[in-house]
Amino acid sequence: MGESRVNASISAAELFEQQRERLDLRWIAGETGGERMLEAVQTVARRPSLAGYLNTIYPNKVQILGTEELTWLDGLDSRQRWETIEKIMQYRPLAMVISKQQHCPEDLREAAEESGTPLWVSPRRGHELLNLMQYHLARTLAPRVTLHGVFMEIYSIGVLITGESGSGKSELALELVTRGHRLVADDAPEFTQIAPDVLDGTCPDMLQDLLEVRGLGVLNIREMFGDTAIKSNKYLRLVVHLTKPMQDPLPSGIERLTGDSGTRRILDLDVPTITLPVMPGRNLAVLAEAATRLHSLRMKGMDPAAAFIARHSNFLERGDA
């Protein structure tokens, strides 16, 4: 199955443009530092953190200066103040943000200008800046990967349908849409690990609302089936993998009871996987729906195969008695 991992990064200028309206930011010094980059690999340890109040021991990537921070700076003697400001600039933060439209000290502005450190001002309170910046940076720089397949919402569960070219992924997706399920992305869904156990799947802008079906070409699912047939994003919970039967040996007895299930490693997460052989006469849409319902049961701690095996063992024990 095709997989393309993306190394996310963001520049100071990009962060400014993305948050400019929301935080009402003004750029007052250090415009030459717009190209400063923050790479995802730098954020793994999270110390220094992505955004936080002014910290000269563990400097944050985005340093927020609230009332208390500026008051603390004002309380230093001239030598300590100069050394502190010099130290902050040497850490090369992505940017510094002054909260509540406070007046920027002239020596801080000059140091930012000389060192090319982006210095912004916002009318927002410090905790608002912290929360919004931290959330935005965490999502932007989260590990992400592009997979080959069709990402669907089936019974409110995010299901990635995978398989070799020609295995019928798009045809299955089209039938599932006609049965009331929803399309998230065809061909190249992007998955972002936004939490240790959460993969959020979205569709690239180029492919939004589109599904390619052999013989029909590219279909606009939103125009054909309405807004309710499309979902903008969904958490990935299950992979349904389609295989051609000639590639697989006949299933063993135990596999016939338990099904062909396992896990697939995507980024740092093991995602449950169910493999369905594609054969003439099989209704794959019904099987995909059943696989999703079975996954839901297993997540609730119910396993029909395990229950049957236990019942069978109990029956044999009673027979021996």
* Per-residue pLDDT reduced to its tens digit, 106-119: 999 999 999 999 99
Report yes or no on 117 lying in a domain: yes
Does the active-site annotation cover 103?
A: no
Does the active-site annotation cover 169?
A: yes
Q: How many CA atoms lie within 13 A of 255 on its CB side?
A: 12
Please give the model's pTM, rounded to 2 decimal places. 0.72
103 and 169 both lie in a single domain: no
Report yes or no on 189 lying in a domain: yes
Report yes or no on 298 lying in a domain: yes
Structure tokens, 213? 């079906």
More confident residue, 50 or 178: 178
235 and 269 both lie in a single domain: yes
285 and 236 both lie in a single domain: yes
Contact 278, 167 (CB under 8 A): yes
Report yes or no on 3 lying in a domain: no
Does the active-site annotation cover 127?
A: no
> Where does 164-303 have alpha helices with state H?
169-178, 221-225, 253-258, 284-299
The one catalytic residue in 169, 234, 241, 295 is 169
290 and 167 both lie in a single domain: yes
The one catalytic residue in 22, 46, 125, 256 is 256
Report yes or no on 89 lying in a domain: yes
Which of these three, 88, 122, 140, is where a domain ends? 140
Structure tokens, 191? 């998955």
Rounded alpha-carbon distances, angstroms, from residue 223 to 144, 210, 265: 29, 10, 35
Which of these three, 78, 111, 140, is where a domain ends? 140
Average pLDDT value over all residues in the chain: 87
122 and 191 both lie in a single domain: no
133 and 160 both lie in a single domain: no
Q: Which domain holds residue 44?
A: 9-140
**What's the confidence (pLDDT) of residue 255?**
59
Residue 235 φ/ψ region, left for φ over 0, alpha for ψ in the -120 to 50 degree band, beta for the rest: beta
Residue 159 β-bridge partners: 152, 238
pLDDT single digits (tens) 20-52: 999 999 999 999 999 999 887 645 455 568 888
**What's the confidence (pLDDT) of residue 254?**
59
108 and 201 both lie in a single domain: no
244 and 267 both lie in a single domain: yes
Which of these three, 117, 140, 163, is where a domain ends? 140
The one catalytic residue in 148, 222, 244, 298 is 148
Cα dihedral 255, 281, 154, 221 in deg (nearest 10): 150
Strand segments (E) across 123-260: 144-147, 149-154, 157-163, 182-187, 190-195, 198-202, 210-213, 217-220, 233-243
Contact 71, 98 (CB under 8 A): no
**What's the confidence (pLDDT) of residue 141?**
85
Does the active-site annotation cover 256?
A: yes
Report yes or no on 2 lying in a domain: no
150 and 284 both lie in a single domain: yes
Say which CATH number the domain at 78 has.
Answer: 3.40.1390.20
Say which CATH number the domain at 204 has.
Answer: 3.40.50.300
**What's the confidence (pLDDT) of residue 109?**
93
Rounded alpha-carbon distances, angstroms, from residue 65 to 53, 95, 208: 6, 11, 40
Rounded alpha-carbon distances, angstroms, from residue 239 to 91, 162, 264, 266: 44, 7, 8, 10
CA-based torsion, 59, 62, 66, 70: positive or negative: positive
Number of domains in the chain: 2
Q: How many CA atoms lie within 13 A of 37 on its CB side?
A: 7
Residue 187 β-bridge partners: 149
The one catalytic residue in 187, 200, 231, 241 is 187
54 and 94 both lie in a single domain: yes
What is the distance between the alpha carbons of residues 247 and 240, in angstroms, rounded to a whole number?
17
159 and 29 both lie in a single domain: no
Report yes or no on 320 lying in a domain: no
108 and 175 both lie in a single domain: no
Task: State which amino acid sits at residue 148.
Answer: H
Report yes or no on 318 lying in a domain: no
Q: Which residue has the tokens 């933060």?
A: 93
pLDDT single digits (tens) 136-158: 988 888 888 999 999 999 999 99
Q: Is 115 helix (H, G, I), strand (E, B) or coil?
A: helix
